[in-house]
Amino acid sequence: MNILIMGPAGAGKGTMSESILRQYDIPHISTGDMLRENVRNHTKLGEEAKSYMDAGKLVPDDVINAMVEDRLKQQDCEKGYLLDGFPRTLVQAQAFEKIEESTGKHVQCVLALEVEFDALCERITGRRVCPKCGAIYHTATKPSKIEGVCDVCGGPLQQRKDDTVEQLKVRMDEYEKSTKPVIDFYEARGVVTHIDASKSRDLVFAQVQETLEKIR
């Protein structure tokens, strides 16, 4: 199965990705993780990306596109992929059509996670993370056993600097401007399923699973 997962900050893309991986055993490809891995491994594309990052510039689309194409050609993607964070813009979506052709791995499903702004605010502002091990908590729905202390490693929990209502508004504006046109692009191809991601994890995954079983 070849899947794209999209949604605004706080919609639960990471949570649903974990559930999809457990159920269907396909690689989760996050463009952020992929970029960091290429830089860490000093690949040719990683070195090129690093030169832009070190200069405080955005990594150009053609570099990201090349990384995605290279990743989809790796052996673990033979059974499919779950692509998270790409394409973010209409230009990237159009470029990805060429990658689909070159790899033979055409998008079969776009999961568009949708949550009202007020619910996103509650999720975002209550989120706490452990900088030591990466564990994620929420003050209301998933609190740590000891307030402010990670259950996993005992590290101090922190709120990310951009987990504020003000920053969420900025990110939502960017999402509406850049990513909504991408969803419209895939709507025209008839592969988008809109998921009500405001419900509990189990109910949201039930919607996702119902969709994926149709293309399995």
Catalytic residue among 13, 71, 123, 128: 13
Catalytic residue among 36, 160, 169, 189: 160
d(CA 92, CA 183): 12
116: its two tokens: 């009202």
Q: What is the DSSP string of 105-151?
A: ----EEEEEE--HHHHHHHHHTEEE-TTT--EEETTTB--SBTTB-T
Rounded to a whole number of angstroms, the CA Rg of the chain reads 18
Instruction: Taking the CA atoms of 190, 87, 112 and 18 in sequence, report the sign of the dihedral they define.
Output: positive
Catalytic residue among 71, 123, 127, 128: 127
CB contact at 8 A, 155 and 130: yes
Catalytic residue among 73, 171, 199, 201: 171
CB contact at 8 A, 127 and 99: no
d(CA 39, CA 46): 4
* 160 is annotated as an active-site residue: yes
* 13 is annotated as an active-site residue: yes
Catalytic residue among 73, 88, 142, 180: 88
* 171 is annotated as an active-site residue: yes
Q: What is the dihedral of CA 128, 129, 130, 132, to 10 degrees?
A: -160
Q: What is the dihedral of CA 100, 107, 117, 30, to 10 degrees?
A: -60
Q: Please list the active-site residues.
A: 13, 88, 127, 160, 171
